């Protein structure tokens, strides 16, 4: 495979060299060790002399990377890498006599993978002419021993290249329908925000948490200045505010949540017995799972404790509206079985990320709450209804259960065995100081 496969401009420069092709085998232009090793058929044991060498970037002439393999300051070998979309072409001054990858390039590419993650994207500029001296009309190319940095010339700003696109374009998240258009109202901006209404009441006043969209006004520094109204069912009168696709989706979720929350109003544990409510709970959980990633992208989100949804005001109360954090997929639940003189106790252990919040958490329907500061809470959505009901059940029972030793066998067979099927249980025997994983201990 001769140089003409690389670039027309490299014709004259690399005429004498044999170029060996290594396909990336991925679409990221990243060469991995696994792929590299497929091309080196000799046993992958390199002699000591080679292993002392390091790479130094030499040139980028005609867009072909030139690298020196050096032993301290002494040049040992030079090799070259041409980059295409799907493959690199490597050549070595040793000429690769048997037309196989030589140990210089194998070792040098290995060093490149180590130092640069095998990433050839920064050196791929299709259609941009780089001359035989490494100069280019559009690019600033700087070579130092440890890197070749290539950037569009400053006056060009970002440079779009077919099949390469813009650098870092992936970091920009485009809303499909364009960003929210704010309406200035006497110098202030009208906004749509979302209010999280939660409750941990008992009995008649209990309801499930839900979100409601609201209309408000923001001041120049983007703080909510005042609230105008909640957007209740089917209320499409949002005047001049143009909704994003996310907001249309969220509003729909909000109204479904509100309907379900009002129809499931009442005792928090009714759902354990009532099959219909159980399916409604699954539905509410599903809505929250959809809502959380969307809510996290919204600029105006507040929360309030609700004492009874029958007395829901027309708009959020400014004094009651709190900032909060909300996440899902962050909870980890385990249990702690402890032996005492005459009885055993069982308690839930709650972690969010790596943080143990067993001593401080609150249980609200569907959420575990980490009270970070007064009036600033972190809500963690439960993963499933089983977790929610079990934790709810524990919370309503003072977060602990006790079983006398004489009753333990039946407790174990009827309850603990089920807990152990679903959760990790730690055990602390009497007079022991170290809790360990509960395996198949004989308890009595």
CB of 205 closer than 8 Å to CB of 371: no
Which residue lies nearer to Zn ion by CB, 104 or 378?
104
Contacts for 350 with CB less than 8 Å, ≥ 6 apart: 331, 332, 333, 356, 357, 358, 361, 368, 391
For residue 295, report the phi and psi dihedrals to the nearest 5 degrees: -60, -40
* Complex with Zn ion: residue 20 or 336, whichever CB lies closer: 20
Q: What burial letters (b/e) apply to 61-75, b meaning 16+ CB within 10 Å?
A: bbbbbbbbbbeeeee
Nearer to Zn ion, 100 or 308 (CB): 100
**Is residue 215 within 8 Å of residue 314, measured between CB atoms?**
no
Closest separation in Å from C-beta 174 to Zn ion: 47
By beta-carbon proximity to Zn ion, the closer residue of 94 and 161 is 94
Which residues, at least 6 apart from 234, have a Cβ–Cβ distance to it below 8 Å? 255
Mode of pairing for the β-strands spanning 424-428 and 331-339? parallel
Both structure tokens of 440: 């198949």
> Minimal distance in Å, beta carbon 136 to Zn ion?
28
C-alpha 28 chain-centroid distance = 20
CB of 38 to Zn ion, least distance (A): 18
Strands (DSSP E) contained in 130-209 are 139-143, 148-152, 183-185, 188-198
Residues 276-303: b if buried by 16+ CB within 10 A, e if exposed: ebeebbeebbebbeebbebbeebebbbb
Cβ closest to Zn ion, residue 102 vs residue 218: 102
Of the pair 102, 206, the CB lying nearest Zn ion is at 102
Least separation, in Å, of the C-beta of 118 and Zn ion? 19
Dmax (CA) for the chain in angstroms is: 92
Shortest Å, Cβ 101 to Zn ion: 9
Residue with Cβ nearer Zn ion (77 or 244): 77
Cβ 175 to Zn ion, closest distance in Å?
52
CB 268 within 8 A of CB 198: no
Can you tell me whether residue 276 is helix, strand or coil? helix
Separation of alpha carbons 345 and 339, rounded Å:
7
CB of 6 to Zn ion, least distance (A): 17
Closest separation in Å from C-beta 102 to Zn ion? 3
Q: Between residues 98 and 221, which has the closer beta carbon with respect to Zn ion?
A: 98
Q: In terms of C-beta density within 10 A (0-12 exposed, 13-18 middle, 19 or more buried), how is residue 15 classed?
A: exposed
Question: Which CB sits closer to Zn ion, 69 or 260?
Answer: 69
Q: How far is the CB of 103 from Zn ion (least distance, A)?
A: 7
* Residue number with CB closer to Zn ion (93 or 298): 93
Asked whether the CA dihedral 331, 334, 335, 336 is positive or negative, the reply is negative
Q: Which residues bind Zn ion (CB under 5 A)?
A: 92, 94, 102, 104
DSSP 8-state symbol, 27: S
Closest distance to Zn ion from the beta carbon of 10 (Å) = 18
């Amino acid at each position: 495979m001769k140089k003409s496969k690389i670039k027309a401009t490299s014709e004259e420069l690399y005429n004498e060299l044999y170029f060996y092709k290594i396909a990336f085998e991925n679409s990221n232009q990243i060469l991995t060790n696994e792929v590299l090793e497929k091309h080196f058929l000799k046993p992958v044991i390199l002699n000591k002399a080679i292993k002392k060498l390091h790479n130094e970037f030499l040139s980028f002439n005609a867009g072909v990377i030139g690298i020196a393999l050096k032993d301290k300051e002494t040049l040992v070998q030079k090799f070259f890498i041409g980059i295409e979309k799907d493959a690199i072409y490597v050549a070595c001054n040793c000429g690769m006599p048997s037309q196989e990858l030589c140990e210089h390039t194998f070792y040098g590419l290995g060093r490149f993978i180590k130092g640069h993650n095998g990433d050839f994207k920064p050196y791929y500029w299709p259609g941009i002419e780089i001359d035989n001296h490494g100069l280019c009309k559009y690019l600033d190319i700087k070579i130092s021993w440890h890197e070749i940095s290539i950037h569009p010339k400053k006056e060009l700003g970002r440079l779009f290249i077919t099949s390469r696109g813009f650098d870092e374009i992936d970091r920009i998240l485009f809303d499909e329908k364009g960003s929210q258009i704010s309406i200035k109202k006497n110098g202030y901006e009208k906004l749509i925000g979302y209010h999280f209404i939660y409750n941990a009441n008992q009995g008649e006043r209990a309801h499930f948490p839900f979100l409601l969209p609201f209309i408000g006004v923001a001041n120049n520094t983007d703080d909510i200045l005042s609230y105008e109204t909640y957007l209740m069912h089917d209320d499409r009168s949002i005047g001049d505010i143009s909704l994003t696709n996310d907001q249309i989706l969220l509003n729909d979720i909000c109204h479904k949540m509100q309907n379900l929350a009002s129809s499931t109003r009442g005792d928090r544990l009714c759902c354990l017995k009532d099959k219909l409510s159980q399916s409604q709970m699954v539905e509410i959980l599903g809505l929250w799972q959809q809502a959380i990633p969307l809510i996290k992208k919204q600029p105006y989100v507040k929360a309030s404790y609700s004492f009874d949804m029958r007395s829901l005001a027309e708009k959020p109360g400014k004094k009651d509206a709190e900032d909060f954090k909300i996440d899902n997929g962050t909870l980890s639940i385990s249990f702690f079985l402890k032996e005492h003189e005459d009885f055993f106790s069982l308690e839930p252990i709650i972690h969010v990320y790596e943080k143990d919040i067993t001593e401080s958490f609150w249980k609200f329907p569907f959420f575990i709450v980490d009270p970070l500061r007064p009036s600033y809470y972190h809500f963690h959505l439960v993963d499933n209804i089983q977790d929610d009901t079990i934790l709810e059940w524990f919370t309503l029972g003072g977060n602990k259960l006790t079983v006398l030793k004489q009753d333990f066998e039946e407790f174990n067979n009827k309850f603990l065995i089920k807990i152990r099927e679903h959760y990790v249980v730690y055990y602390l025997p009497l007079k022991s100081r170290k809790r360990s994983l509960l395996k198949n201990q004989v308890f009595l």
